[in-house]
Structure 1
Amino acid sequence: MTRNSTSLRDRSAIVIGSGIGGLAMGIRLQSLGFDTTILEKLDGPGGRAYVRKADGFTFDMGPTVLTVPHFIEELFSLERGAPGLLEPDFPESVRKAERVKSGVSGGPSTSRYVTIRPILPFYRIYFDDGTFFDYDGDPDSTRRQIAALAPEDLAGYERFHDDAKAIFERGFLELGYTYFGDLQSMLRVVPDLLRLDAVRPLFSFVRRYFKNPKMQQVFSFEPLLVGGNPMKVPAIYAMIHFVEKTWGIHFAMGGTGALVDGFVRKFEELGGKIRFDAEVEKIDVDAPRGRLGKRSVKGVTLASGEQLRANLVVSNGDYVTTYRKLIEPRHRLVNSDARINLAKPSMSVVVVYFGFRDNGQLKLPHHTIILGPRYEELLTDIFDRRILASDFSQYLHVPTVTDPSLAPPGHHAAYTLIPVPHNGSGLEWSKLGEPFVDKVLTFLDERGYIPDLRERLVHKSWVTPDYYQDTLLSHLGNAFGVEPVLWQTAFMRPHNRSEDIAGLYLVGANAQPGGGTPSVMMSAKMTAREIAKDYGLDLGLLRGVPAPVSR
């Protein structure tokens, strides 16, 4: 459907939420010629990537792993009337990136807003027996470590490497930006996915190549970083191995919050406006015109009662919250309560933010994965049984290894993230939170990851699933949106263009293609393309669209 095939006479657009997906969407809307306002419930930008400052420490509250710097560079290079939607998604110059090495990894446009550096190793993965695997994307280093830990799996790694590369080339480089808006679009790619064995569960796929449990964990844990259960996500997620291997893992100096600030600055330079403390209470919808007409969005109503008008609204919020809480049931025929109730939310997390005095003996890298004594059983406890197990695994982030400015002199800032069930579990985090946090910090101290941590601790705070539910308005306190299981992938994932309401769109972790920092930036480009189609925009003639008039 072409919503406005004549011109952008009414170029007003609203984006709900200033997460990375919402900011990327705002930048793209401004480049398309819309006059965009981003509305944020919190008192600052970022959404899940909000920044917490306390006692002289700066803590990124959410995503800290950046990959595919090309996506960031593309956003920072956009200009008014130059949306870049017709340019190659993966230019040849970025398809075969050189091996990641030390130095600055951002492109020329990125460097005007934020400094991005590669991190090596990508992750240090500790097993419960104290051994570890440094994953750095270097095939030779990978082979040496497999030979030391699991020599029986060397041949299996070669086969895994080849098959994961084939999935990456087809599933990411060729299909990564495919919008599955109808069933036919998905059916066309199913034969290829079946041929690549990309629909079977990832852990089952990995076990075809690796016999040793340690290697099975090393090459299957990554979906946990986007809220997926390795036992259930489709094997297409094996491409993450090659996404990281190809473009590396990066860090924004000053933290992910510095990247968020850069996106805000770019958005405002393009003429966009952002409002904080502006919670949306309702998406306003016009009644259908005629018997067969479709409902149309007409703006939003804030919790303050203020009404804002726009002929285009994009939600960067939770899928269930957007439809169930912000849109009246009478306007939702496809995304009805019955359908919404079938949506399976991702797991949640407890994140502990802590600062400690440096004694000059910290041996941890920037990113550390600490695996517990159980893997498959723990995943079952979190995703299926929804219980708080006595053991746990965690992702430990110590950014001051790379950027000391995030802590007072002589100190380190850190956070550790522990996967836990979402609030459908019924766990009472108001009672469980503090004892659990103390247990985690004691573990890091007594197991020698950060010796004498309790004595050197100067700051401690945390969030539980209640924060994601009550503050970020995520259904059941999920931390990553709709869970990436097979039946919530591609066409079966919430659509970026609303099936119910003209002019309403979704962007971010809950929409296609899914969660994770690179994916939500991809989601913004996919949604922008659908908007361009719906508004009949001739992208070849857009250059020269005037800047918005200040109001």
Structure 2
Amino acid sequence: MSQPLPHTRKTALIIGSGFGGLSLGIRLQSLGFDTTILEKQDGPGGRASQKRTPDGYVFDMGPTVITVPHFIEELFALERDGGRLDQPDYPAHVLTGERVREGESGGPRTREYVRLVPILPFYRISFDDGTFFDYDGDPDSTRRQIRALAPGDLAGYERFHQDAKAIFERGFLDLGYTHFGDMATMLRTVPDLLRLDAVRTLFSFTSRYFQSPKLRQVFSFETLLVGGNPLSVPAIYAMIHFVEKTWGIHYVMGGTGELVRAFVRKFGELGGRIEYGAEVEEILVTDGRGRPVRSPFGRRTARGVRLRDGEERHADLVVSNADWANTYLKLVPRQARRVNSDLRVKAARQSMSLLVIYFGFRDDGHPLNLRHHNIILGPRYEELLREIFGQKVLGQDFSQYLHVPTLTDPSLAPPGHHAAYTLIPVPHQGSGLNWEVEGPRLVERVLAFLEERGYIPDLRARLTYLDSITPDHFEGTLDSYLGNAFGPEPTLVQSAYFRPHNRSEDVRNLYLVGAGVQPGAGTPSVMMSAKMTARLIAQDFGLHPAVRDGAEGEGGEG
């Protein structure tokens, strides 16, 4: 059971109002903290912000795939000073209930804030030869399409399904909320990971079951949506397939920005405050005598922040929902960092970046042969991935994720029009590419491809709105190190214990939340990260002497 904070209420400052910052803000308010979120932009959401144009288009700037709706329901169900962190992470009805396949989804509290609807199929995966695979999580539908595409892989699919389920049950259901704060916790999981063959690369794992190159792509591409290269992420990420299969893919009517605004509303109802245009310049760190820290040795404690205008804000704890690397490189004084030194932070491999094209176009009266979520794969898969992640060059072809939400929600565009965005993985800023030159070139190539290959006929003649962002946007506006789009790349040596920790090893009362820290990127993982960080704070501030199994291995830092 949660316990009220003794005496005066503790104060918390959260840097950034992305999904991680908002989710944690809601949890801290429910635990009894007075929480303020400091956001440097003029609106909430961070990478999940929303663009609205004067002529009536609405574009989600970032995340569009919503999974695990009970994570959202849990946040909306929290009450002021009544937060619980010891309830089951996966209530029995969530694990045994059937997935909603039509109509509305989400729990009763969610419906008070947003309208969440299931999307079917989850994705249409189109191949370069014009064939496609509609993935909807239904085993019968999947078997039927495999039989048509590569009948020799049916037996392999049955084995993959069984083994991916075992990884999901251990890696997500059992270990998803475990904070790997020490090596001992990590070592306890190694035998299970080896038994499940979850440490080999995902593409290698998938290739054990499927001979068809197309099916190898169908069952490995999903990690690209969280910044992972299928050729290098560990096979534990096969659990994404089962996360989607178990709870489905969902859409928030009005766009993901509506969920952001709903979280802002919930945070305000619990008494939290958000300040916009409040850019943090430094996290204030003091030594054991309350003086500015001069050495990475001895006691180091976060006492607040200094804003860009020079104003200082003090609090009992500070949380960063900003980019992990730039939190340490830019905000925490170098003399306060022993573990997260410049050398260590810069040595971490960052995820790829993105070119995202936002466009509106006239409906010509003919139905689009597209779905809400479309994965359009180029003629090369492994070679293209090596170019993006390894060589860091732009290839002669590309793959893309094309999002057409107006097929579900016409309100996002003026009458008689569609709103869409397409996302193309590209190298991060370590490539040295000049995006002022390469960005417009790639935009034109992508638009020409969509038109000439028949995905959106006569697109360029029908365009009424066009904008795009490149790695320059991620590096500049979003202050992401090297313009990465998803934080550190989720390789084997940057997962679990080896992924940045949610409790700073260098500075007491400094915590992190979001895609850059455990468990990783993706909307559900970021909400898990918020609960994980809240548990660490609750332990450190004496709110929860014991916090179920998810607390294992969370001590000893700071």
* Bin for the TM-score computed over the shorter chain: over 0.9
User: Could you tell me which amino acid in structure 1 is paired with residue 177 of structure 2?
Assistant: Y
Unaligned ranges ≥5, structure 1: 542-551
| Residues 54-203 of structure 1 aligned to structure 2 (within 5 Å) | 54=53, 55-203=55-203
Question: Residue 7 of structure 1: CA displacement?
Answer: 2.9
Q: Percent identity?
A: 68
Q: List aligned pairs for 1:134-533, cutoff 5 A.
A: 134-289=134-289, 293-361=298-366, 362-533=368-539
Instruction: Please say if residues 329 and 336 of structure 1, whose CA atoms lie closer than 8 Å, have aligned partners that are also in contact.
Output: yes
Post-superposition CA distance 1:268-300 (Å, at most 9, x none): 000000011111110001123499842111100
Does the aligned pair in 1 maintain the 2:156–2:210 contact within 8 Å?
Answer: yes
SS of the aligned residue for 1:432 comes to: helix
Matched with 2:556 is none
The TM-score with structure 1 as length reference comes to 0.96
How far 1:82 moved relative to its partner? 2.0
Aligned to 1:50: 49
Residue identity in the other structure for 2:306: T
Deviation at 1:97, TM superposition (A): 3.5
Separation in 1, partners of 2:185, 2:83 = 25
State the AA in 1 paired with 2:190.
Answer: V
Q: Match of 1:501, SS? A: coil
- Length-normalised TM-score, structure 2: 0.95
Task: Give the match for residue 35 of structure 2.
Answer: 36
Cα distance in 2 for residues equivalent to 1:422 and 1:160: 32
The DSSP-based 3-state class of the residue aligned with 2:347 is: coil
Structure 2 contact 5–32 (Cα < 8 Å) conserved: no
Of 434-443 and 122-131, the range deviating more from structure 2: 434-443
Give the 3-state SS of the residue equivalent to 1:400 in structure 2: helix
Q: Check the 8 A contact 2:539/2:545 in 1, yes or no.
A: no
SS at 1:37's partner residue? strand
Aligned partners of 1:448, 1:528: CA distance in 2, in Å? 48
User: Aligned Cα RMSD in Å?
Assistant: 1.6
Alpha-carbon separation, structure 2, partners of 1:511 and 1:9? 30
- The range that moved more, 281-290 or 179-188, is 281-290
For residue 104 of structure 1, give the secondary structure of its aligned residue in structure 2. Answer: coil
Q: Separation in 1 of the partners of 2:185 and 2:96?
A: 28
User: Structure 2: how far apart are the matches of 1:230 and 1:340?
Assistant: 23
Measured in 2, the distance between the counterparts of 1:284 and 1:265 equals: 29
Hey, what does 2:552 align to over in structure 1? none
In 2, Cα distance between the equivalents of 1:243 and 1:141? 18
Q: Give the letter aligned to residue 438 of structure 1.
A: E
Whole-angstrom CA distance in 2 between matches of 1:116 and 1:219: 26
Aligned to 2:553: none
Amino acid at match of 2:77: S
- CA apart distance, 1:6: 8.0
Cα distance between partner residues in 2 of 1:127 and 1:354: 23
- Number of residue pairs the alignment of both structures matches: 538
Q: Which amino acid aligns with 1:352?
A: I
Aligned partners of 2:411 and 2:235: how far apart in 1? 39
Per-residue CA distance 1:305-362 (angstroms, 9 max, x = gap):
1111111111011111000100111000111112112111100000000000011221
Shift of 1:101: 1.1
- SS for the counterpart of 1:283 is strand
Structure 2 CA distance for aligned equivalents of residues 42 and 14 of structure 1? 16
Whole-angstrom CA distance in 2 between matches of 1:100 and 1:229: 30
Q: Is the 8 A contact 1:5 1:535 kept in 2?
A: no
> SS in structure 2 opposite 1:368?
strand
Where 2:134 maps in the other structure, the secondary structure is strand
CA displacement at 1:104 relative to structure 2: 0.6
Aligned to 1:546: none
Aligned-partner residue type, residue 44 of structure 1: G
CA contact (8 A) 2:4 2:31 kept: no
